[in-house]
Amino acid sequence: MIYTVTFNPSIDYIVRLKRFTPGEINRVNYEQILPGGKGINVSIVLKNLGHESTALGFTAGFTGTAMRQMLASFGVTEDFVPLSEGFSRINVKIKAERETEINGQGPVITEDAQRALFDKLDRLTRGDILVLAGSIPNTLPDDIYERIMAQLEGRGILIAADATKNLLRRVLKYRPFLIKPNNHELGEMFGVELKTDDEIVAHAKKLQEEGARNVLVSMAGDGAILLTDTGVFYRALAPKGTLVNSVGAGDSMVAGFLAGYIESDGSYECAFHMGVATGSASAFSENLATRDEALALLKTISM
How much is the average pLDDT of 191-205?
Answer: 91
Q: What is the C-alpha separation between 118 and 123, in angstroms, rounded?
A: 9
Q: Looking at residue 31, what is its pLDDT?
A: 92
What pLDDT was estimated at residue 295? 95
What per-residue confidence (pLDDT) applies to 41?
Answer: 96
DSSP bridge pairs for 91: 12
Judge whether 34 and 80 are in contact, CB under 8 Å.
no
Q: What is the mean pLDDT of residues 101-120?
A: 94
DSSP string, the chain: -EEEEESS-EEEEEEE-S---TTS----SEEEEEEE-HHHHHHHHHHHTT--EEEEEEEEHHHHHHHHHHHHHTT-EE-PEEESSS--EEEEEEESSSEEEE--------HHHHHHHHHHHTT--TT-EEEEES---TTS-TTHHHHHHHHHTTS--EEEEE--HHHHHTTGGG--SEE--BHHHHHHHHT----SHHHHHHHHHHHHHTT-SEEEEE-GGG-EEEE-TTS-EEEEPPPP------TTHHHHHHHHHHHHHHHTTS-HHHHHHHHHHHHHHHHTSSSPPPHHHHHHHHTT---
Instruction: State percent of the chain over pLDDT 90.
Output: 80
Query: Phi/psi at 227 (nearest 5 deg)?
Result: -110, 125
CATH number of 1-20+30-140: 3.40.1190.20
Closest CA to 180 of 153, 207, 151, 141: 207
Q: What percent of the chain has pLDDT over 70?
A: 99
Q: What are the sequence ranges of the domains in the chain?
A: 1-20+30-140
Q: Which residue has the higher pLDDT, 234 or 142?
A: 234
Active site residue 251: yes
What local confidence, expressed as pLDDT, does residue 173 receive?
94
Convert the pLDDT of each residue in 236-271 to its tens digit.
988 988 888 777 889 999 999 999 999 999 999 999
Mean pLDDT across the chain, nearest whole number? 93
The answer, yes or no, to whether residue 132 has pLDDT greater than 80, is yes
Are residues 286 and 41 in contact, defined by beta-carbon separation less than 8 angstroms?
no
Work out the number of other CB atoms within 10 angstroms of the CB of residue 155: 12
pTM of the model: 0.93
pLDDT in the model for residue 248: 85
Question: Could you tell me the pLDDT band of residue 302, with boundaries at 50, 70 and 90?
Answer: low
Buried-state track 36-72, b at ≥16 Cβ within 10 A, e below 16: bbbbbbbbbbbbbbebebbbbbbbbbebbebbbebbe
pLDDT of residue 159: 97
Per-residue pLDDT tens digits for 16-73? 999 999 999 999 999 999 999 999 999 999 999 999 999 999 999 999 999 999 999 9
The reported pLDDT for the residue numbered 116 is 97
Compute the average pLDDT of residues 137-162.
93
Annotated catalytic residue within 12, 128, 162, 251? 251
106 forms beta bridges with: none
Q: What is the pLDDT of residue 303?
A: 61
